[in-house]
Structure 1
Amino acid sequence: MSIHLAKVDFTRGEINPLLHARIDVDPYRAGLKTCVNWLPLQEGGLRKRSGTSFIAEVKDSGKKTRLIPFIFSSNQAYVLELGDNMFRVCNSFGQVVDGGGAPVEIATPWPENEIAALDFAQSADRLYVTHGDVPPREISRYEDDVWSLDPHQHEDGPYLPGNKTGTSLTVSDRGDIVPFMTSNTAPSGTVDTGGGGTWQVFDNDEATAWTFSNPTPDWIAYALPAGEEKICTGYSIRAGKSNADFMPSAWRFEGWDGSQYVPIDSRTAETGWVLDEIRHFAFPNDVAFSKFRLYITQLNGQDGSSSAYMATLRLKESGDAMTPVTITASAVTGINGDAGFKATDVGRHIRMRGSDGDWRWARITAHIDALNVSARLYGPVFMDTDPMLRWQLGAWSEETGWPAHVGFYRDRLVFARTDTQPQAIWGSKVSDYADHGVSSPLVDDDAIDLEILSGEINAINWLVEGRELMLGTTAATRTISPMDATKPLSASNVQQNRQSTFGAAEVRPVQVGKALIYAGPYGHTLREFLYSLDVDGFITPELTILSSHLLKSGVKELAYAQEPDAVIWIVCNDGSLVSLTYERDQKVVALARHQLGGVDAVVESLAVIPGVSHHEVWLCVSRTIGGATRKYIERLNPPFEDSEVEDGIFLDSAISYSGAPVSGLYGLGHLEGETVTALADGMVHAGLTVSGGQIFLPDGVSAARIHVGLAYESRAVTLPPSEGSRGGAVLGRSMRAVRVIADVYRSLGLMVGGASRQEAFLQRRAGEPTDQAAPPRTGPHSVSVSHSREEEGEITLLSALPLPALIRGLNIQYEIEP
């Protein structure tokens, strides 16, 4: 019995061998038995994978490499090559070099065994990078060839829960520029005013006050001892125990630059003072002055009284510039598991509540012993040095670990997971990505600290911004969002929800439209994470169940190239490269394998960045070249669409030439000793050997457009037909294909047949010139095939030449036993 069956849908790609008998399901009819170096298209057809162009060898082929994207805008994007304690930079034009022609290279704290665990999030020209064993860093770009790597200087937290023991902390100094004065000139410096009382505002007695004139203006100044200068970043004012109505309501705070007073802060409408009230004022400043002045311009009350009163004025010295103070603990209890301070606490923050009820913080600069550390003070000046029972140790340090993951959510920089707090999340203040401080009382843009609510430890493996903050943990997926959607996310307006019990691997997911694609807990599956109106919540269906055999070694990296083909590229732990053509609205989920040309070729890493007309896929490829392992950065070429045959690149690790006709090509040192293929003005020349970094075209041929690289095959094998015409199901019945009509688009050099033998078609036609490229073919083309019944009706589509191929559909004639 002879039947004709159409195969016009390849949108399920290569399907799992366990499904090869499932002729009853639609994915079988849209699937393939084998799909290697073909890309299933959203439209339903198959297109041959383009080749890769050689960019550069990595710095050290003997060590691990990772590629990560750095995307400032659609026309300013880079790929960073991270290696052993360094990174280099590439852009669409190749490797970025300095003025001397050497690759731009920046030292990093990450050895090769740590780069796989790096996480990152970008804002403009700054990339925030985290690793659980190293403090967060910031990669910044200033020009194409000017880059830096700097510590992320987080401020005021985050912190562990507060002290609940009897241990108190005492600071050895208040952080005040002015000592407690006993006269206008003692113990040091000089106090001066525009009139009235003087030094009492700087003494240690709340009952005394600076009495100044009313009506204003008036002023009080403090000059440091001769030759000294200090940086002031804030001040504190305390109202007197009487006459609060005559506290200042407007003033300037100024510094003396040697010839005049320079305003560094000003305030207005500071009204409503009450007796003994303390107000703290902070401002950014990095300029040192020898003298400071508070210049009063208005009082709360202007009733003609002859005097007004201010009990205390304190000037806060810059924490970055001050001499560190000593913080002393009364006991080791409550500090590092009752072990006291450790050397690993250096760099850690401490938050302390002073006797005035306000919080300050300090950064530890040195370890002295279990009870003492040196530290710099930040926030308001301490009003005294009394012992403090209210304190918190920083959540991040060498002792507790550093955040492993980073992302953004609603203009907050969000960090997650340390060794000691695997379920913790810390969000910065709104629009201030370094500041983790909180106010008293809380305000909406204060920093946020959360702990996942779970009965078991579920370490956070990634976080991604969407309508809600999406979290992947070892045993669940979760979201964090405002409880009241009409109000901003804040410490008092936040909720967390477990959305599914399908956990996630520690692999950076990718966002495709409204869906998040992530690797399952062991990396053997991919799942969607998206909101469903049907359940009024998030769902996590598995994407790759039909092709799970392709991810058997586990997913290592994911990257999404939206244009031109909506493909998620996957690097697996065994070095295999897999593509997933994904278009949810059209129900397209098609996986395919990609084997790059060369000996022992595997992919170590990949990254995707926007290019001029499409997204660029960058690969780090490891091969055996001349008996040694060599690792190259390569870029996947755009698909062949409306180009000329001479411009198509279907060779891997290729270099290209365009110009005056030449008979050879230089610059092939990276393929020294390898057998390569050339496409020269559209003509194929195979079996060439690279010697001295060059090849010569055979027979004295010259060409103006040449591509030289490693050849590869594109092979697709269909599944047996799922049903006959009038004969019912064909599963297990003997059959053979006798003819194939392939509908192709701009294709050449395709071979079709059974597994053991394929017939060449789409070749040069009689009468066409033999010294130039044949034109690509479009439309249906018929070929008789040699096919045995043992091959069960499978059809092999093979493209072994560096020529374009796109199959829109097949019409296959079978002979089937009755």
Structure 2
Amino acid sequence: MSDIALTKSGFTAGVLSPALFARVDLSKFDLGAKTLENFLVHAEGGVSNRPGTEFVLRARGDRIRLIPFAFSTEQTYVLELGEGYLRVVKDGAVVTEPSRAVAGVAPGDPVVLTVAGHGYGNGDWIFLEGLTGPTALNGRFWAVTVTGADSVSLSDLDGRPLDGTGLPAWSGGGTAERVYRIATPWSADELERLKFVQSADTMYLAHPGYAPRKLTRSADDAWSLEVIDFQPSIAPPGGLSASGGSGGPAQYYRVTAVKAETFEESTPASASVGASPTSGSPVNLSWAAVAGAAKYNVYKLDNGIYGWIGASETTAFADDNIAPDVSDTPPTGRNPFAAAGAYPATVGLHEQRSVWGASDDDPQKTWMSTSANYENLNVSTPSKDDDAVTFTIAARQVNEIRHYVSLSDLLLFTSGGEFKVNGGDEVALTPSNVNVKPQSYRGCSHVPPVVIGNTVLFVRYDGRAVYDLGYQLAVDGYSGNEVTVLAKHLFRGEGRIREMAYAQTPWSVVWCVLGDGRLAALTYMREHDVWAWHSHVTEGAFESVAVVRENDEDVVYLAVRRTVEGSERVYLERMKEREDRAIEEAFFLDSGLSYDGPATRELSGLGHLEGETVAILADGGVQPRQVVTGGRISLQTAAERVHVGLPYEATIETLPVTLSDPAAAAKRLRIHRVLLRVLAARGVRVGPGGGAGELVEVKQRAGEPYGTPTRPFTGQIGLNVAPEWADDTTILVRQSDPLPITVLGMTAELEIGG
């Protein structure tokens, strides 16, 4: 027998498919892993266990979709869309309406609450706090049934009336806040096909079964959803009249209002006069002023075409036989999306225009708004450069447009290929210079692509592969590669990608919700040739994901289906921050909550985990797991800073050890010592993989004062493991406690069998 030492310097290839375990010739092989579960890959090479998720709120619906809404980097929201409704989450909490004073609580069966002039509706959710007496009602959400103009009865969120028999009598105080909600037209089944794009406080939404809509925010608790009529935002002049002239044929005029600042032109008003203008007897036009107008354009009919004859900053104009300029005509209003079959299925923004397309009747057709006016599809004859643009892809197959992405060109992603659209070299797109060129023929799914820098990542039409697409100067076009090729096993079976969202900070990770309830995540930095997959699981199933920026970090929000008290519920959860946190602030629990206050052994408010076994980190120390009963747990020792939630394991398993010497490669191996290079790690367990031996826990406590938690360790850890002979020898690293671990690399000392 002989000993060898093998070193692994990082994990920037991510998890590799079993089909590649013999591909030692791959440049990424030595940087790959057999398993990376609940571990994040860093572009620098190391891996860290993912942070846990904080419970935000139970979803109102059984099937929901999360959508990000970002007015600015400081004002961001996550929208919860379900069966016919929309709710708003901001900074980790659901948005509620202003509080109303509670005027009484009758603790019968059911409990009846008195709130003067409440204005609530059946099924609304309210949040109670500050009640004196029946304090068990505080800090919780309840569903209401209206019993009068000033009263409601309470039920839990499963619809069970609250039996308040035995509750202490109310002695005053308390407020009720209704969860803010607006109605939407989409069913839960239709949300998957909903496409959206945002500009400032307005989000445009498209669905093939509904007229286009816009969602507008004016305050945290003031949102409106309305059908877009695609008319200019300025009205045409009213009361237009014409008089004067001398003899000759009748004359016909049109006048439009031009909006200040944006110069958007209204549809025209019309008038005629039974005489022709002369220099001595002009035709005089007059009209009523239009609010917001900077000037008015005047057009006259000439051989069947209205041509421009001048502009006025007043409400009058005199035509003394001005020759019309028929190259400049008034706009014609239109709404091509006015009926079923014509509704667009997708929407985007590009070069100060809104972009709509893929109706059932015209799946390859695109409509772009007038320049700088997103809700105006007016055209002129002949066309003007700022008119609305309409074009159809000329392709070998009729494949529907599924997404628009705006880079230096407009990129169109269809079910059968990818196209770029522009107006030529360094020229803005206009109705007369539309150039459509195919870039590749992969085909895209309905999952919205994500943009990373100047590169687009999109999901193939079958949901089983992701491609990147970036501009290549050498070919003056867009090309890319499949980035799932090394980890195809993650997307087999039910593992099709359903949703995708990108968090730039702190780790540059694309989070993908899979059809089997897992998260597949991709650490992606194209400029450094880093594209590494890792998978994430929880006690439940991930169903939706959205990313918004909060406090200079991109925060991941998740909809998670969990089984609690024997029934399925969907929870909204927020992934916690991980970087630069003291051990007392470590949060490696799912659907968790935190307590910060005077030392206590009794914790409440855990009703969302009723009956579940939870892990506990109290003042930086791991306490024994407890079962939540009545929404409460009892700690083993009192603590001031406590985190409680569902436990999860984070696991690394290396690829099977492969020796380059053919004579040695055929022999069995066993690992007897492992050296780990770690960063801020605690609670590490290491051993041979594949069930070949028990995991050994690293004992770290060294010099901390009595009564203080063990501090995370940075450096090299060496430990002996229980050796077992194996054909496929791997190293397993596991974190089972709610504690941090980052592994930068490892060295294994192995024995080669005789």
TM-score for the superposition, normalised by structure 2:
0.80
Distance, in Å, in 2 between the alignment partners of 1:58 and 1:767 is 47
User: For each residue in 1:663-709, what CA deviation from the matched residue of structure 2 results, as whole angstroms up to 9, or x when unmatched?
Assistant: 122111100111101100011123201111111102xx111110000
Instruction: Give the corresponding residue for 1:541.
Output: 481
Instruction: Give the corresponding residue for 2:620.
Output: 682
| 1:630 Cα offset (Å) | 1.0
Instruction: Give the corresponding residue for 2:674.
Output: 740
Instruction: Give the corresponding residue for 2:744.
Output: 808
| 1:537 Cα offset (Å) | 1.9
Whether 2:68 is the aligned partner of 1:69: answer yes
Instruction: Give the corresponding residue for 2:547.
Output: 608
AA aligned to 2:752 is I
1:557 corresponds, among 499, 520, 530, to 499
Instruction: Give the corresponding residue for 1:106.
Output: 182
2:632 corresponds, among 688, 694, 711, to 694
The answer to whether the Cα contact below 8 Å between 1:37 and 1:594 also exists between their aligned partners in 2 is: yes
Instruction: Give the corresponding residue for 2:15.
Output: 14
User: For each residue in 1:322-352, what CA deviation from the matched residue of structure 2 results, as whole angstroms up to 9, or x when unmatched?
Assistant: xxxxxxxxxxxxxxxxxxxxxxxxxxxxxxx
| 1:137 Cα offset (Å) | 1.1
Instruction: Give the corresponding residue for 2:206.
Output: 130
The answer to whether the Cα contact below 8 Å between 1:45 and 1:808 also exists between their aligned partners in 2 is: yes
Instruction: Give the corresponding residue for 1:387.
Output: none
| 1:267 Cα offset (Å) | 5.8
Q: Secondary structure at the match of 1:113?
A: helix
AA aligned to 1:136 is P
| 1:550 Cα offset (Å) | 0.8
Q: Secondary structure at the match of 1:550?
A: helix
2:642 corresponds, among 706, 709, 715, to 706
Change (3 A) 1:85 1:241: same
Whether 2:459 is the aligned partner of 1:523: answer no
The answer to whether the Cα contact below 8 Å between 2:300 and 2:309 also exists between their aligned partners in 1 is: no
Instruction: Give the corresponding residue for 2:596.
Output: 658
Change (3 A) 1:177 1:429: closer
Change (3 A) 1:24 1:199: closer
Query: Which stretch of structure 1 is more off in the superposition, 531-540 or 448-457?
Result: 531-540
Distance, in Å, in 1 between the alignment partners of 2:88 and 2:528 is 37
Distance, in Å, in 2 between the alignment partners of 1:793 and 1:685 is 34
AA aligned to 1:32 is A
| 1:768 Cα offset (Å) | 4.1
| 1:486 Cα offset (Å) | 3.6
Distance, in Å, in 1 between the alignment partners of 2:268 and 2:300 is 21
Instruction: Give the corresponding residue for 1:90.
Output: 89
Q: Secondary structure at the match of 2:679?
A: strand
User: For each residue in 1:130-177, what CA deviation from the matched residue of structure 2 results, as whole angstroms up to 9, or x when unmatched?
Assistant: 110011111111111111111122138xxxxxxxxxxxxxxxxxx998
User: For each residue in 1:171-224, what CA deviation from the matched residue of structure 2 results, as whole angstroms up to 9, or x when unmatched?
Assistant: xxxx99889xxxxxxxxxxx9xxxxxx9778x9x974689xxxxxxxxxxxxxx
Distance, in Å, in 2 between the alignment partners of 1:810 and 1:651 is 26
Equivalent residues in 2 for 1:67-466, closer than 5 Å:
67-100=66-99, 101-155=177-231, 207=249, 234-236=268-270, 242-246=276-280, 253-254=287-288, 295=316, 300=320, 360-361=332-333, 395-466=336-407
AA aligned to 2:376 is D
The answer to whether the Cα contact below 8 Å between 1:139 and 1:148 also exists between their aligned partners in 2 is: yes
Instruction: Give the corresponding residue for 2:440.
Output: 500
Q: Secondary structure at the match of 1:18?
A: helix
Distance, in Å, in 2 between the alignment partners of 1:397 and 1:270 is 29
| 1:74 Cα offset (Å) | 0.7
AA aligned to 1:612 is N
Superposed CA RMSD in Å reads: 3.5
Distance, in Å, in 2 between the alignment partners of 1:269 and 1:281 is 8
The answer to whether the Cα contact below 8 Å between 1:239 and 1:276 also exists between their aligned partners in 2 is: no
Q: Secondary structure at the match of 1:44?
A: coil
Change (3 A) 1:80 1:239: same
Structure number with larger C-alpha Rg? 1
The answer to whether the Cα contact below 8 Å between 1:762 and 1:777 also exists between their aligned partners in 2 is: no
Distance, in Å, in 2 between the alignment partners of 1:683 and 1:624 is 28
User: For each residue in 1:350-398, what CA deviation from the matched residue of structure 2 results, as whole angstroms up to 9, or x when unmatched?
Assistant: xxxxxx9977557xxxxxxxxxxxxxxxxxxxxxxxxxxxxxxx64243
TM-score for the superposition, normalised by structure 1:
0.74
Distance, in Å, in 2 between the alignment partners of 1:708 and 1:110 is 36
Q: Secondary structure at the match of 1:115?
A: helix
Distance, in Å, in 2 between the alignment partners of 1:501 and 1:275 is 48
Q: Secondary structure at the match of 1:663?
A: strand
User: For each residue in 1:284-339, what CA deviation from the matched residue of structure 2 results, as whole angstroms up to 9, or x when unmatched?
Assistant: 9xxxxxxxx9645x6659xxxxxxx99xxxxxxxxxxxxxxxxxxxxxxxxxxxxx
User: For each residue in 1:714-763, what CA deviation from the matched residue of structure 2 results, as whole angstroms up to 9, or x when unmatched?
Assistant: 01100123335xx4586543111111110111110000001334443443
Instruction: Give the corresponding residue for 1:794.
Output: 730
Whether 2:30 is the aligned partner of 1:29: answer yes
Query: How many residues are treated as equivalent by the alignment?
Result: 655
Q: Secondary structure at the match of 2:535?
A: strand
Distance, in Å, in 2 between the alignment partners of 1:595 and 1:266 is 59
1:592 corresponds, among 510, 518, 534, to 534
The answer to whether the Cα contact below 8 Å between 1:236 and 1:279 also exists between their aligned partners in 2 is: no
Instruction: Give the corresponding residue for 1:754.
Output: 688
1:646 corresponds, among 584, 588, 597, to 584
Change (3 A) 1:233 1:447: closer
Distance, in Å, in 1 between the alignment partners of 2:543 and 2:316 is 64
Whether 2:497 is the aligned partner of 1:578: answer no
Distance, in Å, in 1 between the alignment partners of 2:210 and 2:291 is 40
| 1:547 Cα offset (Å) | 0.3
| 1:276 Cα offset (Å) | 10
The answer to whether the Cα contact below 8 Å between 1:252 and 1:266 also exists between their aligned partners in 2 is: no
Distance, in Å, in 2 between the alignment partners of 1:238 and 1:631 is 64
| 1:798 Cα offset (Å) | 0.3
Q: Secondary structure at the match of 2:489?
A: helix
| 1:543 Cα offset (Å) | 0.6
AA aligned to 1:497 is K
The answer to whether the Cα contact below 8 Å between 1:50 and 1:651 also exists between their aligned partners in 2 is: yes
The answer to whether the Cα contact below 8 Å between 2:301 and 2:307 also exists between their aligned partners in 1 is: no
Change (3 A) 1:268 1:523: closer
Instruction: Give the corresponding residue for 2:256.
Output: none
The answer to whether the Cα contact below 8 Å between 1:444 and 1:488 also exists between their aligned partners in 2 is: no
Change (3 A) 1:248 1:3: farther
Percent identical across equivalent pairs? 33
| 1:538 Cα offset (Å) | 1.3
Gaps of 5+ in 2: 100-176, 253-265
Q: Secondary structure at the match of 1:2?
A: strand
User: For each residue in 1:21-55, what CA deviation from the matched residue of structure 2 results, as whole angstroms up to 9, or x when unmatched?
Assistant: 11121222111011100011100011011100000
Change (3 A) 1:282 1:126: farther
| 1:457 Cα offset (Å) | 0.9
Q: Secondary structure at the match of 1:629?
A: strand
Distance, in Å, in 2 between the alignment partners of 1:522 and 1:110 is 24
Change (3 A) 1:772 1:148: same
Query: Which stretch of structure 1 is more off in the superposition, 71-80 or 785-794?
Result: 785-794
Distance, in Å, in 1 between the alignment partners of 2:653 and 2:443 is 34
1:512 corresponds, among 433, 442, 452, to 452
Distance, in Å, in 1 between the alignment partners of 2:715 and 2:198 is 46
Distance, in Å, in 2 between the alignment partners of 1:531 and 1:265 is 42
Distance, in Å, in 1 between the alignment partners of 2:613 and 2:634 is 12
Gaps of 5+ in 1: 157-174, 180-190, 192-197, 211-231, 256-261, 285-292, 302-308, 311-355, 363-393
